[in-house]
Amino acid sequence: YDELCLRGVLESRSRAGVFVKPPDDYSPPPERDLSAPAPHLNSLAVDHQARLASGDTYLSAVFVDPELLPHKQLSDCIRSVLSLPGLPTFYDALGYPPLRELIAARLCARGIRTSADEVLVTTGSQQARDVVSRALAPRCIAFENPIYRYARLLFEAHNLRLVPLDLDPFENIDFASWERDLASNRPGLMYAITSFQNPTGHSYSSHELERLLDLAQRLDFALLEDDWGSDMLSENDYRPSLRALGGENVLYVNSFTKKLLPSLRLGYVLCSRAAMPALLAAKRLATLGNATLMEAALAEFLDRGYYDTHLNRIQKALDERYHACLDALEELMPEGVRWTTPGGGPILWLSVPDSVNLQALAARMAEQNIRIELMPQAFVGRPHLHGFPIGYAFYPPDRLRSALECLSKELSRA
- pLDDT tens digits for 216-232? 999 999 999 999 988 88
pTM: 0.88
Residue 9 lies in a domain: no
Among 277, 307, 337, identify where a domain stops: 307
AA letter at 75: S
Same domain, 53 and 120: no
Gap between the Cα atoms of 17 and 178, Å rounded: 77
| Confidence at residue 162, expressed as pLDDT on a 0 to 100 scale | 98
**Is residue 109 packed enough to be buried (19+ CB in 10 Å), middle (13-18) or exposed (0-12)?**
exposed
Same domain, 250 and 151: yes
Residue 1 lies in a domain: no
| Confidence at residue 51, expressed as pLDDT on a 0 to 100 scale | 58
Same domain, 179 and 231: yes
Residue 301 lies in a domain: yes
Residue 28 lies in a domain: no
Same domain, 297 and 366: no
Among 291, 307, 323, identify where a domain stops: 307
Q: How many CB atoms lie within 10 A of CB 200?
A: 26
Q: How many CB atoms lie within 10 A of CB 154?
A: 20
Mutual angle of helices 292-303 and 97-109, in 10-degree steps:
40
Same domain, 296 and 338: no
Residue 395 lies in a domain: yes
Residue 273 lies in a domain: yes
| Confidence at residue 230, expressed as pLDDT on a 0 to 100 scale | 86
> What is the distance in angstroms between the CA of the first residue and the CA of the last residue of the chain?
89
Go through 12-44 and write b for each residue having 16 or more CB atoms within 10 A of its CB, e for each that does not: eeeeeeeeeeeeeeeeeeeeeeeeeeeeeeeee
The answer to whether residues 365 and 414 touch, using CB atoms and an 8 Å cutoff, is: no
Among 307, 332, 352, identify where a domain stops: 307
Same domain, 261 and 344: no
Per residue, the 3-state secondary structure of 137-199, as one string, reads CCCEEEEEECCCHHHHHHHHHCCCEEEEEECCCCCCCCHHHHHHHHHHHCCCEEEEECCCCCC
Same domain, 250 and 328: no
Same domain, 367 and 296: no
DSSP H/E element including 133:
helix 124-135
| Nearest one of 267, 261, 188, 185 to 226, comparing CA atoms | 267
DSSP-based three-state secondary structure for 388: strand
Low-confidence ranges of the chain (pLDDT < 70): 1, 43-54, 234-238
The CATH number of the domain holding residue 382 is: 3.90.1150.10
Residue 150 lies in a domain: yes
Same domain, 132 and 231: yes
Same domain, 112 and 54: no
Question: Domain residues for 329?
Answer: 48-68+311-413
Residues 398, 202, 122, 45, Cα dihedral to 10°? -70
The CATH number of the domain holding residue 94 is: 3.40.640.10
Same domain, 159 and 63: no
Residue 17 lies in a domain: no
| Nearest one of 91, 154, 87, 84 to 124, comparing CA atoms | 154
Gap between the Cα atoms of 242 and 250, Å rounded: 7
Same domain, 245 and 132: yes
Q: What is the count of structural domains for the chain?
A: 2
**Which residues, in sequence order, are CB contacts of 97 under 8 Å at separation 6+?**
116
